[in-house]
Amino acid sequence: MGGEVDRSGDAAVLADLIGGRLAGRGGGLYRRLADAIAALIGSAELPVGARLPAERRLAEALAVSRSTVVAAYDELRDRGLVESRRGSGTTIARAASRGRSRADKRMPAGYGESLFHRIAVGPGEVISLTYAVDPGMPELTSELVGLATTDLPTLLDDVGYHPRGLRVLRERIAEHFEESGLPTSPDEIVVTTGAHQAIALVTQMYLRTGAAVVIEQPSWPGCFDLFGAAGGRVVGVPLDDAGIRPDLLTAAFTEHQPAMLFVMPTFQNPTGRLMSANRRRQVAELAAKHGVVVVEDNAYSAWDPAGPAIPPPLAAYAPDGTEVLTIGSVSKAVWGGLRIGWIRATRPLAERIARHKALADLGSPVIDQALTARLLPRLPELTAARGRVATARRKLMGQLLAERLPAWEWSEPEGGSALWIRLPDTDARVFAQVALRHRVEVVAGRAMDPTGTHDDHLRVPFAYPEPILDDAVDRLARAWQELRRHGPPPDVPMV
């Protein structure tokens, strides 16, 4: 199937694909499990002939009893969707292909799959804590009206294709960098469709099959999928309170000779840590010494003025000749639906990036770019407003967790939109499956660190109104109480 590796027999992968489909309340758990697997068969996620995990292994991954999986497999056999043979296990039956999708490319079960699943399927009765989003800032309305009345006629006279980005937007982004302490010209800017595309373009430029890319450990799940799809080898380097550890970074550079270093200096995801000015300088100097390209993602820019001061971007500390690409975005600070990001690089690099951008989509939407250009002079004001709200919600979430889940542990983040929580003596993937049955969805630490070092961690966003936070913590507390009272089902391991 297109050269893809079939991992359907991997219980953890199948559990991720099943995702929130077990969260309903009707029909019995075994029937919901059978329906979930049947849906994956019907959508071609599970191909004909694929082997399903052994009952015991899938029960462990889903934190259900083995009898539940046995009953679900029996139900699927009765429907003619699977067949079992001694010594061969349970496989998808050929008859299951009738009436199914003819698409021959399956969605990969990557580390970001669970994070983005709820965005794709839409809202439901499950409270999803897999992503952190806020509604659009009120200022969007007035700026949209101004755009329509003053700028739109001129924009409509334009050809509409700007792979590098609208000149006025690049000028405003350059001014934004100047104000942050990093001198920049408009010709050093390429506008992208969000920070995600910026990372994808840079990955396309620098990573080849087998090349190493060093990242912070833990890190954003999407980067594992992007780097892995390019054939890269991910090498994680742990953090301390000031950011990525320079001693271990030196060792990683020496041993792996990576093509690229990817870091999030400002409110790192998922820990919320702020890399200090001195650490930014150390990282830049190490990269220069070892000839490593640095990609810094500063998309998590919402900042509470009452909090710590944010140092200039890492690129401001780089010795001459160091390749540093700085990524930013308005999606977190203003609105997720405004998919405008950017890359700052040297002029020759910006020209190369623009060629890749032209091949990707000929340029980001012009009206969105024009709206962003109107908003950028107000970006410090908007990020401060967003940051103050985030601080209030972070404090509320901390209070709710301290009251209802006092055994959970976390360090107070300096910014960002989530808490990075350690669950005592518990595999977070097991808890996540129990939580789903209480209609709350969370992302376990394995998605952000596949080495297993943070298997006992959860990323819990707090970017929600007070009633939703209160309800979500209540559901988490009930799930935790169930897990601790009854323990995991037989054979489900604890850390």
Shared domain for 357 and 247, answered yes or no, is yes
Nearest Cα to Cα of residue 16 among 104, 110, 92, 101? 110
Quote the tokens at residue 25. Answer: 């309340």
**Of 380, 400, 433, at which residue does a domain stop?**
380
In a domain, 213, yes or no: yes
Give the number of domains in the chain. Answer: 3
In a domain, 393, yes or no: no
Shared domain for 228 and 285, answered yes or no, is yes
Shared domain for 44 and 183, answered yes or no, is no
Mean of pLDDT values over 415-422:
95
Shared domain for 203 and 323, answered yes or no, is yes
What pLDDT, on the 0 to 100 scale, is given for residue 420? Answer: 98
Quote the tokens at residue 244. Answer: 């990525």
Inter-CA distances, 250 with 42, 257, 265, 287, 322, Å: 49, 10, 17, 9, 16
In a domain, 396, yes or no: no
3-state secondary structure of 187: helix
Task: Go through 26-45 and write b for each residue having 16 or more CB atoms within 10 A of its CB, e for each that does not.
Answer: eeebbebbbbbbbebbeebb
Shared domain for 236 and 348, answered yes or no, is yes
Cα separation of 148 and 481, whole Å? 54
Cα 129 versus chain centre, distance: 12
Cα separation of 143 and 138, whole Å? 9
Task: Kindly report which listed range (25-39, 393-407, 412-426) carries the lowest average pLDDT score.
Answer: 25-39
Whether the predicted pLDDT of 490 surpasses 80: no
pLDDT per position as a tens digit, 453-475: 999 999 999 999 999 999 999 99
Cα 251 versus chain centre, distance: 27
Of 37-46, 122-131, 222-231, 312-321, where does the model show the most confidence? Answer: 312-321
Model confidence at 112, in pLDDT bands (50, 70, 90)?
low
pLDDT per position as a tens digit, 33-75: 999 999 999 887 888 889 999 999 999 888 888 999 999 999 9
What is the CATH classification number for the domain harbouring 74? 1.10.10.10
In a domain, 387, yes or no: no
Look at strands 82-85 and 89-92 and give their pairing: antiparallel
> What is the DSSP secondary structure assignment for residue 135, as one 8-state letter?
P
Strand-pairing partners, residue 263, are: 296
Shared domain for 167 and 77, answered yes or no, is no
Task: Go through 386-403 and write b for each residue having 16 or more CB atoms within 10 A of its CB, e for each that does not.
Answer: bbbebbebbebbeebbee
Shared domain for 327 and 453, answered yes or no, is no
Amino acid identity at 130: T
What pLDDT, on the 0 to 100 scale, is given for residue 485? Answer: 83
What pLDDT, on the 0 to 100 scale, is given for residue 120? Answer: 46
Amino acid identity at 151: D
In a domain, 85, yes or no: yes
In a domain, 392, yes or no: no
Shared domain for 229 and 294, answered yes or no, is yes
What is the CATH classification number for the domain harbouring 431? 3.90.1150.10
Report the predicted TM-score, pTM, of the whole model to 2 decimal places.
0.86
pLDDT per position as a tens digit, 121-174: 444 588 999 887 788 999 999 999 999 999 999 999 998 999 999 999 999 999
Shared domain for 222 and 295, answered yes or no, is yes
Shared domain for 177 and 277, answered yes or no, is yes
- For residue 314, give its domain range: 139-380
Whether the predicted pLDDT of 115 surpasses 80: no
Shared domain for 244 and 151, answered yes or no, is yes
Cα 159 versus chain centre, distance: 34
HEC profile for 51-114? Answer: ECCCHHHHHHHHCCCHHHHHHHHHHHHHCCCEEEECCCEEEECHHHHCCCCCCCCCCCCCCCHH
In a domain, 4, yes or no: no
What is the CATH classification number for the domain harbouring 353? 3.40.640.10
What pLDDT, on the 0 to 100 scale, is given for residue 102? Answer: 54
In a domain, 6, yes or no: no
Shared domain for 229 and 375, answered yes or no, is yes
